[in-house]
């Protein structure tokens, strides 16, 4: 049986972390759409330095983004170069919402994401999966948490990777990204009417995975 799962939610809600585990447990192909937008942002920054509409259009017009898996680890490639860690820097995080706001970027990546989903059972996470990319998904989940908790998670993750960050600064950036994602004109971040809300504030990863597993198995 083909199963299509869509998980949406704001930055730092834990989508990628839990989605990878749920996909593995259920034998689904995991597609991290956030990594794809980060890949575009990385290329713009590398080739032009500043994110402008013209620079983004130039970088995105012939970009080749590939997601590959080695066991449980996902690798991201842009034009043949591995950028798995490079797309997770604070600089990319600060610019990815601006890149994602351009209609031509979303159009290009949504087409690619839908082609990926046509290949079989998938679990896809992002900002507009249940509302726009896969509106007929079998399971739709909106994953969220308080801004403070999401900032704490992101700051911990960045520090573990060697980045020197302040919690207050990360919290401000996440709040600003929420605002940009929710207010953008094209495919804004919002909970689909038929999506199930899961608030992860105060929950462990195992607890969130268990909740999502139960929801997916109920639809299988």
Per-residue pLDDT tens for 180-208? 999 988 889 999 999 999 999 999 999 99
Q: Which domains does the chain have, with CATH numbers?
A: 4-219 (3.40.50.300)
Share of the chain above pLDDT 70, in %: 98
Q: Which helix (H) or strand (E) holds 77?
A: strand 73-78
pLDDT at 120: 84
**Sign (positive/negative) of CA torsion 200, 201, 206, 211?**
negative
Question: For 49-65, what is each residue's pLDDT tens digit?
Answer: 889 999 999 999 999 99
pLDDT at 69: 79
pLDDT at 71: 66
What are the start-end ranges of the H helices in the chain?
Answer: 15-26, 33-48, 53-60, 90-100, 103-117, 147-160, 167-183, 205-219
**Sign (positive/negative) of CA torsion 198, 203, 204, 210?**
negative
pLDDT at 73: 81
Q: Which two tokens stand for residue 171?
A: 């919290």
Minimal CA–CA distance to 211: which of 199, 202, 220, 193? 199
Within 10 angstroms of residue 100's Cβ, the number of other Cβ atoms is: 28
pLDDT at 34: 92
> For residue 1, is pLDDT > 70?
no
| Mean pLDDT calculated for residue range 98-106 | 93
Task: Give the contacts of 111 (CB within 8 A, at least 6 positions apart).
Answer: none
Mean pLDDT of the chain: 93
pLDDT at 30: 92
Q: What is the pTM of this model?
A: 0.84
Measured between alpha carbons, how far is 131 from 29 in angstroms, rounded to an integer? Answer: 20
């Amino acid at each position: 049986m083909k199963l299509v799962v869509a998980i949406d939610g704001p930055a730092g809600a834990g989508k990628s972390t839990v989605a990878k585990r749920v996909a593995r447990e259920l034998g689904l192909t995991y597609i991290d759409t956030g990594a794809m937008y980060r890949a575009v942002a990385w290329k713009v920054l590398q080739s032009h330095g500043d994110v402008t509409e013209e620079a983004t259009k130039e970088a995105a017009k012939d970009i080749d983004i590939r997601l590959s898996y080695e066991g449980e680890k996902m690798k991201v490639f842009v034009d043949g170069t591995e950028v798995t860690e490079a797309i997770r820097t604070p600089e990319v995080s600060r610019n990815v919402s601006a890149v994602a706001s351009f209609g031509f970027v979303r159009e290009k990546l949504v087409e690619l994401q839908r082609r990926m989903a046509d290949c079989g059972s998938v679990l896809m996470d992002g900002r507009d999966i249940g509302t726009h990319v896969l509106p007929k998904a079998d399971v739709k989940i909106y994953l969220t948490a308080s801004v403070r908790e999401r900032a704490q998670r992101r700051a911990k993750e960045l520090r573990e990777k060697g980045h020197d960050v302040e919690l207050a600064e990360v919290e401000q950036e996440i709040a600003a990204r929420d605002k940009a994602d929710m207010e953008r004109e094209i495919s804004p971040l919002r909970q689909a009417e038929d999506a199930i809300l899961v608030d992860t504030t105060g929950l462990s990863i195992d607890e969130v995975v268990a909740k999502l597993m139960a929801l997916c198995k109920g639809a299988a």
